[in-house]
Amino acid sequence: MFQTTKQSRSGARSLTTWYRSGGLSAVLFAVPLVLTFLYFSWGPIVRGLVLSFQKNNLVAAPEWVGMANFSYVLTDPQLPQAALNTLYFAALALLFGFPVPLFLAVFVSELRTTGWLYNVLSYLPAVVPPVVAILLWTFFYDPSTAGVFNSILGWFGIGPFAWLNSQSLAMPAIVLEATWAGAGATSIIYLAALTGVRTELYEAAELDGAGIWSRIWHVTLPQIRGIIFIMMLLQLIGTFQVFTEPFLFTGGGPNNATTTILLLIYRYAFVNGDFGAATALSVLLAGVLCLLSVAYYFVTRRWSTT
């Protein structure tokens, strides 16, 4: 009983100390901020989940349809093509686009005097507005012999190519522009990670006679592999949500060769006026990305820490 009384007095004293130190004022100050954050961050997520079970065009009164929206999008004959196109874009972007910013970061970090200039040049595409960049690249991809790329290739007796008008070349052309646009910003992140690599490791490698490629392979990459795995996951998620490039370059053509999942969601919502189906497909895409992120975490957890 004495012990219980002692604990109750200690709890009352702690509560009094918390109150006198401004704990209540801090709670009253934080509650509106937390509620505002929840409303603007989680509110749209909850609203989207509800909308996915409704037939809604944002004009007439919504009608509850249960799983009908999910059944509709899963049986849509355009979905397999859009999913394959999205996977194709993701594979090309990871295969060709992922090493580019890493190479730029390592290249700039090895420069001693003019590194800042290459740093600025590599980041410059991120400053250009996406719409302006795509319009510029559309001019480069002109399928005639007067197009910039076709003119350059013509000097070597190659081409001309249809580029965005070709079913086989449209997606690789989009990946090339997306790599150019996103490599600079990603390389800045890698450069920040490279500053954390201990210089004595490079000095020890040089004393052992290691060349630049050996230092990169045995020192640089192992030291920043955690950042590499994180950036790979972020790029993978981003590639599954590609929309701007296919929408502005080709509109999903030619012959739906560049129709992606997000472009299909756009058609559901703003072409067909079926916001319920658009939200249902968005929820399915979010679920797939969540499962992919969890699987990726467990697969790379040991590699990123050892």
Per-residue pLDDT, 5:
52
Per-residue pLDDT, 10:
53
Q: Which of 88, 89, 90, 124 is nearest to 104 (CA)?
A: 124
* Rounded Cα distance, 15 and 117, in Å: 58
Distances (CA, A) of 20 to 5, 13, 14, 25, 76: 22, 10, 10, 10, 63
* Rounded Cα distance, 253 and 250, in Å: 5
* Rounded Cα distance, 148 and 176, in Å: 15
Helix (H) or strand (E) holding 55: strand 54-55
* Rounded Cα distance, 227 and 240, in Å: 20
What average pLDDT values come out for the chain (306 residues) when binned by 10 residues? 50 64 75 88 88 85 89 93 94 87 80 66 80 89 88 87 91 92 85 80 75 78 84 89 91 91 93 91 93 88 65
* Rounded Cα distance, 135 and 140, in Å: 9
Contact criterion met (CB below 8 Å) for 183 and 122: yes
Q: Which of 269, 289, 292 is nearest to 73 (CA)?
A: 269
Cβ atoms within 10 Å of 174's Cβ, excluding its own: 27
Q: Which of 123, 248, 234, 140 is nearest to 181 (CA)?
A: 123
